[in-house]
Chains A and B, each alone.
Chain A
Amino acid sequence: EVQLQESGPGLVKPSQSLSLTCSVTGYSITSNYWGWIRKFPGNKMEWMGYISYSGSTSYNPSLKSRISITRDTSKNQFFLQLNSVTTEDTATYYCARGGHFDYWGQGVMVTVSS
Protein backbone atom coordinates (compact mmCIF):
# COMPACT_ATOMS: atom_id res chain seq x y z
CA GLU A 1 0.00 0.00 0.00
CA VAL A 2 1.27 3.45 -0.89
CA GLN A 3 1.70 5.69 2.14
CA LEU A 4 3.02 9.22 2.48
CA GLN A 5 4.00 10.97 5.69
CA GLU A 6 4.93 14.63 6.10
CA SER A 7 7.27 15.81 8.81
CA GLY A 8 8.76 19.12 9.83
CA PRO A 9 8.43 22.02 12.24
CA GLY A 10 4.99 23.31 13.03
CA LEU A 11 6.18 26.85 13.73
CA VAL A 12 8.38 29.02 11.54
CA LYS A 13 9.35 32.66 12.07
CA PRO A 14 8.64 35.26 9.42
CA SER A 15 11.44 35.71 6.85
CA GLN A 16 12.85 32.27 7.62
CA SER A 17 12.61 29.10 5.53
CA LEU A 18 10.00 26.38 5.84
CA SER A 19 11.37 22.87 5.30
CA LEU A 20 9.24 19.75 5.12
CA THR A 21 9.94 16.11 4.33
CA CYS A 22 7.62 13.62 2.71
CA SER A 23 8.52 10.00 3.35
CA VAL A 24 7.01 7.50 0.93
CA THR A 25 6.54 3.78 1.50
CA GLY A 26 5.06 1.15 -0.77
CA TYR A 27 6.07 2.88 -4.00
CA SER A 28 9.27 4.24 -5.47
CA ILE A 29 9.54 7.98 -6.02
CA THR A 30 11.57 7.19 -9.15
CA SER A 31 8.19 6.45 -10.69
CA ASN A 32 5.32 8.91 -11.11
CA TYR A 33 5.11 12.51 -9.93
CA TRP A 34 5.22 13.78 -6.35
CA GLY A 35 3.76 17.05 -5.27
CA TRP A 36 3.11 19.52 -2.52
CA ILE A 37 -0.27 21.11 -1.92
CA ARG A 38 -1.35 23.43 0.86
CA LYS A 39 -4.68 24.35 2.40
CA PHE A 40 -5.10 27.76 3.92
CA PRO A 41 -7.33 28.68 6.84
CA GLY A 42 -10.67 29.41 5.22
CA ASN A 43 -10.58 26.39 2.90
CA LYS A 44 -8.65 27.61 -0.16
CA MET A 45 -6.20 25.07 -1.61
CA GLU A 46 -3.08 25.72 -3.68
CA TRP A 47 -0.95 23.37 -5.78
CA MET A 48 2.66 24.31 -5.03
CA GLY A 49 4.68 22.10 -7.36
CA TYR A 50 6.01 18.67 -8.11
CA ILE A 51 9.12 16.64 -8.64
CA SER A 52 8.98 13.97 -11.29
CA TYR A 53 10.28 10.43 -11.51
CA SER A 54 13.35 11.80 -13.31
CA GLY A 55 13.96 14.61 -10.84
CA SER A 56 12.59 17.42 -12.97
CA THR A 57 10.46 19.98 -11.20
CA SER A 58 7.54 22.30 -11.90
CA TYR A 59 6.46 25.09 -9.58
CA ASN A 60 3.48 27.35 -9.22
CA PRO A 61 4.53 30.75 -10.58
CA SER A 62 2.69 32.35 -7.64
CA LEU A 63 5.52 31.16 -5.44
CA LYS A 64 8.09 32.71 -7.76
CA SER A 65 11.63 31.89 -6.73
CA ARG A 66 10.79 31.05 -3.10
CA ILE A 67 10.14 27.35 -3.63
CA SER A 68 12.39 24.35 -4.13
CA ILE A 69 11.42 20.67 -4.28
CA THR A 70 14.19 18.11 -4.08
CA ARG A 71 14.49 14.42 -3.34
CA ASP A 72 16.61 11.66 -1.88
CA THR A 73 15.91 8.49 -3.82
CA SER A 74 18.01 6.37 -1.46
CA LYS A 75 15.57 7.21 1.34
CA ASN A 76 12.50 7.43 -0.89
CA GLN A 77 11.83 10.94 0.37
CA PHE A 78 11.15 14.28 -1.24
CA PHE A 79 11.39 17.70 0.29
CA LEU A 80 9.82 21.13 0.23
CA GLN A 81 11.70 24.32 0.97
CA LEU A 82 9.86 27.61 0.96
CA ASN A 83 11.98 30.69 1.59
CA SER A 84 11.18 34.09 3.03
CA VAL A 85 7.91 32.98 4.59
CA THR A 86 5.27 35.39 5.80
CA THR A 87 2.13 34.92 7.85
CA GLU A 88 0.30 34.29 4.58
CA ASP A 89 2.18 30.99 4.31
CA THR A 90 0.38 29.67 7.38
CA ALA A 91 -1.42 26.56 6.13
CA THR A 92 -1.68 22.81 6.31
CA TYR A 93 0.87 21.30 3.95
CA TYR A 94 0.25 18.02 2.19
CA CYS A 95 2.41 15.82 0.01
CA ALA A 96 0.67 13.69 -2.57
CA ARG A 97 1.35 11.36 -5.45
CA GLY A 98 0.89 13.59 -8.45
CA GLY A 99 -0.71 12.80 -11.72
CA HIS A 100 -4.05 11.87 -10.25
CA PHE A 101 -3.50 12.86 -6.61
CA ASP A 102 -4.60 9.43 -5.50
CA TYR A 103 -2.45 9.12 -2.37
CA TRP A 104 -1.92 11.86 0.21
CA GLY A 105 -0.09 12.34 3.47
CA GLN A 106 -2.08 13.25 6.56
CA GLY A 107 -0.88 16.85 6.39
CA VAL A 108 1.22 19.01 8.70
CA MET A 109 0.00 22.32 10.02
CA VAL A 110 2.60 25.07 9.74
CA THR A 111 2.15 28.40 11.46
CA VAL A 112 4.30 31.38 10.53
CA SER A 113 4.57 33.62 13.55
CA SER A 114 7.17 35.47 15.53
Chain B
Amino acid sequence: DIQMTQSPSSMSASLGDRVTITCQASQDIGNNLIWFQQKPGKSPRPMIYYATNLANGVPSRFSGSRSGSDYSLTISSLESEDMADYHCLQYKQYPRTFGGGTKLELK
Protein backbone atom coordinates (compact mmCIF):
# COMPACT_ATOMS: atom_id res chain seq x y z
CA ASP B 1 0.00 0.00 0.00
CA ILE B 2 1.06 3.59 -0.56
CA GLN B 3 1.70 5.34 2.75
CA MET B 4 0.76 8.99 3.03
CA THR B 5 2.63 10.75 5.84
CA GLN B 6 0.84 13.94 6.79
CA SER B 7 2.25 16.71 8.95
CA PRO B 8 1.64 18.32 11.29
CA SER B 9 -1.01 16.26 13.05
CA SER B 10 -2.28 19.42 14.70
CA MET B 11 -1.46 23.07 14.66
CA SER B 12 -2.75 26.34 15.97
CA ALA B 13 -2.54 29.56 13.98
CA SER B 14 -3.81 33.12 14.11
CA LEU B 15 -6.23 34.80 11.75
CA GLY B 16 -4.35 36.12 8.73
CA ASP B 17 -1.50 33.60 9.07
CA ARG B 18 -0.16 31.65 6.12
CA VAL B 19 -0.65 27.95 6.87
CA THR B 20 0.89 24.96 5.10
CA ILE B 21 0.03 21.28 5.57
CA THR B 22 2.09 18.58 3.90
CA CYS B 23 1.66 14.98 2.78
CA GLN B 24 4.55 12.81 1.67
CA ALA B 25 3.86 9.79 -0.51
CA SER B 26 5.87 6.59 -0.08
CA GLN B 27 5.60 5.80 -3.80
CA ASP B 28 5.01 7.72 -6.97
CA ILE B 29 1.43 8.93 -7.15
CA GLY B 30 1.91 11.54 -9.84
CA ASN B 31 -0.56 14.31 -9.17
CA ASN B 32 -3.31 11.90 -8.05
CA LEU B 33 -4.01 13.56 -4.73
CA ILE B 34 -7.06 15.19 -3.19
CA TRP B 35 -7.16 17.52 -0.19
CA PHE B 36 -10.29 17.41 1.97
CA GLN B 37 -11.58 19.78 4.61
CA GLN B 38 -13.83 18.40 7.33
CA LYS B 39 -15.65 20.44 9.95
CA PRO B 40 -17.22 18.89 13.08
CA GLY B 41 -20.40 16.99 12.30
CA LYS B 42 -19.96 17.46 8.55
CA SER B 43 -18.79 15.19 5.79
CA PRO B 44 -15.43 15.74 4.06
CA ARG B 45 -15.38 18.45 1.40
CA PRO B 46 -12.90 18.16 -1.46
CA MET B 47 -10.83 21.34 -1.69
CA ILE B 48 -8.05 20.47 -4.16
CA TYR B 49 -8.07 17.87 -6.94
CA TYR B 50 -5.15 16.49 -8.87
CA ALA B 51 -2.77 18.06 -6.35
CA THR B 52 -3.11 21.62 -7.58
CA ASN B 53 -6.63 22.20 -8.96
CA LEU B 54 -9.10 24.15 -6.84
CA ALA B 55 -12.49 22.48 -6.50
CA ASN B 56 -15.60 24.44 -7.43
CA GLY B 57 -16.56 27.08 -4.89
CA VAL B 58 -13.34 26.88 -2.88
CA PRO B 59 -11.90 30.28 -1.93
CA SER B 60 -8.78 31.35 -3.78
CA ARG B 61 -6.79 31.62 -0.53
CA PHE B 62 -6.47 27.83 -0.75
CA SER B 63 -3.85 26.34 -3.05
CA GLY B 64 -2.13 23.03 -3.65
CA SER B 65 1.40 22.33 -4.78
CA ARG B 66 3.80 19.47 -5.36
CA SER B 67 7.52 19.07 -4.97
CA GLY B 68 8.60 15.56 -5.83
CA SER B 69 6.81 13.23 -3.42
CA ASP B 70 5.76 16.08 -1.13
CA TYR B 71 2.33 17.61 -1.55
CA SER B 72 1.22 20.77 0.21
CA LEU B 73 -2.02 22.53 0.97
CA THR B 74 -1.55 26.22 1.70
CA ILE B 75 -3.99 28.74 3.10
CA SER B 76 -2.58 32.15 2.26
CA SER B 77 -4.45 34.15 4.90
CA LEU B 78 -6.27 32.13 7.54
CA GLU B 79 -9.90 32.92 8.24
CA SER B 80 -12.02 31.70 11.13
CA GLU B 81 -14.11 29.47 8.83
CA ASP B 82 -10.96 27.53 7.90
CA MET B 83 -10.72 25.89 11.34
CA ALA B 84 -11.23 22.23 10.53
CA ASP B 85 -9.57 18.89 9.99
CA TYR B 86 -7.68 18.43 6.74
CA HIS B 87 -6.86 15.13 5.03
CA CYS B 88 -4.98 14.15 1.92
CA LEU B 89 -5.95 11.12 -0.16
CA GLN B 90 -4.00 9.40 -2.92
CA TYR B 91 -6.01 7.93 -5.76
CA LYS B 92 -3.18 6.62 -7.90
CA GLN B 93 -3.43 3.07 -6.64
CA TYR B 94 -5.73 0.72 -4.74
CA PRO B 95 -6.28 0.64 -1.87
CA ARG B 96 -6.83 4.38 -1.73
CA THR B 97 -4.98 5.73 1.30
CA PHE B 98 -5.36 8.82 3.44
CA GLY B 99 -2.84 10.85 5.36
CA GLY B 100 -3.22 10.85 9.12
CA GLY B 101 -5.04 14.19 9.18
CA THR B 102 -4.26 17.67 10.49
CA LYS B 103 -6.39 19.42 13.07
CA LEU B 104 -6.19 23.18 12.49
CA GLU B 105 -7.18 25.33 15.44
CA LEU B 106 -7.25 29.01 16.23
CA LYS B 107 -4.43 30.29 18.39
Interface, chain A (partner B; CB < 8 A): 39, 43-47, 58-62, 94, 96, 100-102, 104-107
Contact = CB atoms under 8 A, between A and B. Distances in A.
Contacts of B101: 43-45
A106 B43 contact: yes
A19 B50 CA distance: 33
Contact of A44 (B43, B49, B89, B98): B98
Interface of B: 1, 9, 34, 36, 38, 42-44, 46, 49, 55, 85, 87, 89, 91, 94-98, 100-101, 103
Nearest to A48: B95
Contacts, number: 48
A47 B98 contact: yes
A61 B93 CA distance: 13
A81 B24 CA distance: 32
Contacts of B103: 43
B46 A100 contact: yes
Contacts of A106: 42-43
Given A101-B44, A107-B43, A62 B89 contact: no
B43 A62 contact: no
B44 A60 contact: no
A43 B9 CA distance: 9
Nearest to B97: A47
Contact of A61 (B34, B55, B95): B95
B98 A45 contact: yes
A25 to B, nearest CB: 16
